[in-house]
Amino acid sequence: MTKAVSYGDADVILHLFTERLGAVSAIAHRAKRSDKLAREPLHTLQVTLDEREGRELMTLAESRLATPRLALLSSLDAMELAGGALALVRTIAPPRVVEPELWARVVALLDAPSRVALAELGLRALSIAGFGLELHACVACGAPCPSGKAALVSPERGGVVCRACGGGRLWLSGEARAAIARAGEGACGALDEGHIPRAVEIVSLALAAHGGVVDSRRWATMSSR
Ligand SMILES: [Zn+2]
């Protein structure tokens, strides 16, 4: 689950990121008095959803805790990182599109939150969502950017923008550019601590450019603690 929002006196709308259906929303009737633990977004739930034709909102028929993550609740840092992963999914996962890799990586992050894992998840999620950055050539003129060479990157425009084309607003060393590109291609362990601030900035600006403004700001805050 990525978010639970109260609806009326007794109902709750759940925003779920599911393994089998992708991102879905479901209404849980009379849920407020039921088990609060099962509505904590950090845990993995096993849910049964009812669907009515023509209605986007599904109905929660049944839910139980499949993987409780109580240890997360005792660490503010871990909760922020987990919250960052869930905010990212809410922003980026299109409704009803099954995303096995994103699912697996979000679960892995919730099981073992770290700043590196969240920054890598952010870069990979952009690629999965089709907003991946071109870091090997200028997005405007196509001029290749030789490996090892620093470059100017515009997350809003989707990657490297060479000086002749106006330049991007973020300066990336050749080494950081290669590491961030590898993370976007899905490599785990591509980033080290030193890459995190730039990676977070890139993801948050790219998210903002693609409409996830509120969550992108929140994401940057969560990821930079
Ligand atoms: Zn160019």
CATH number, position 16 = 2.40.50.140
Q: Which of 3, 5, 70 is nearest to 31 (CA)?
A: 5
Overall pTM > 0.75 = yes
| Ligand 1 center to 31 CA (angstroms) | 55
For residues 199 and 121, what is the distance between their CA atoms, to the nearest angstrom? Answer: 10
- Gap between the Cα atoms of 81 and 63, Å rounded: 25
Please list, in sequence order, all residues whose beta carbon lies within 8 angstroms of the beta carbon of residue 75, skipping any fewer than 6 positions away.
none
* Residue numbers of the chain with a pLDDT score lower than 70: 1, 31-39, 212-225
| C-alpha 123 – ligand 1 centre gap (Å) | 23
Which of 68, 98, 124 is the last residue before a domain boundary?
A: 68
Residues contacting residue 164 through CB under 8 Å, at least 6 positions apart: 138, 141, 143
Packed helices 115-128 and 174-184: angle between N→C axes, nearest 10 degrees: 70
CA of 60 to the centre of ligand 1 (A): 51
What's the CA-to-centroid distance between 165 and ligand 1, angstroms? 4
Say if 90 falls within a structural domain: yes
Instruction: Give the gyration radius of the chain's Cα atoms.
Output: 19
* 176 and 198 share one domain: yes
Identify whether residues 100 and 64 lie together within a single domain.
no
Q: 132 CA to middle of ligand 1, Å?
A: 18
* Among 36, 31, 137, 118, residue whose Cα is nearest residue 79: 118
Ligand 1 centroid – CA 169 distance (Å): 14
Distance in Å from the first CA to the final CA of the chain: 23
Ligand 1 center–CA 153 separation, angstroms: 11
In this prediction, residue 30 carries a pLDDT of: 75
Distance (angstroms) between ligand 1 centre and the Cα of 164 equals 6
Nearest to 60 by CA among 26, 19, 34, 17: 26
Q: Are residues 206 and 123 in the same domain?
A: yes
| Cβ–Cβ < 8 Å for 44, 2 | no
Residue 16 lies in a domain: yes
Rounded distance from Cα 145 to ligand 1 centre (Å): 10
Question: Which among 70, 195, 194 is positioned nearest to 122, based on CA atoms?
Answer: 195
Enclosing domain of residue 108: 71-133+161-223
180 and 78 fall within a common domain: yes
Task: Among 13, 42, 68, identify where a domain stops.
Answer: 68
Whether residue 169 is found in the same domain as residue 60: no
Does 113 lie in the same domain as 193?
Answer: yes
How distant is the alpha carbon of residue 49 from its chain centre? 24
Q: How far is the CA of 137 from the centre of ligand 1 (A)?
A: 8
Q: Are 62 and 80 within one domain? A: no
- pLDDT for 55: 82
**Among residues 155, 160, 168, which one has the least CA distance to residue 208?**
155
| Environment of ion ligand 1 (residues, CB < 5 A) | 138, 140-141, 143, 162, 165
Would you state the pLDDT for residue 9?
Answer: 76
Domain finish residue from 19, 45, 68? 68
Q: How far is the C-alpha of 41 from the C-alpha of 14, rounded, in Å? A: 9
For residue 150, the CA-to-ligand 1 centroid distance in Å is 14
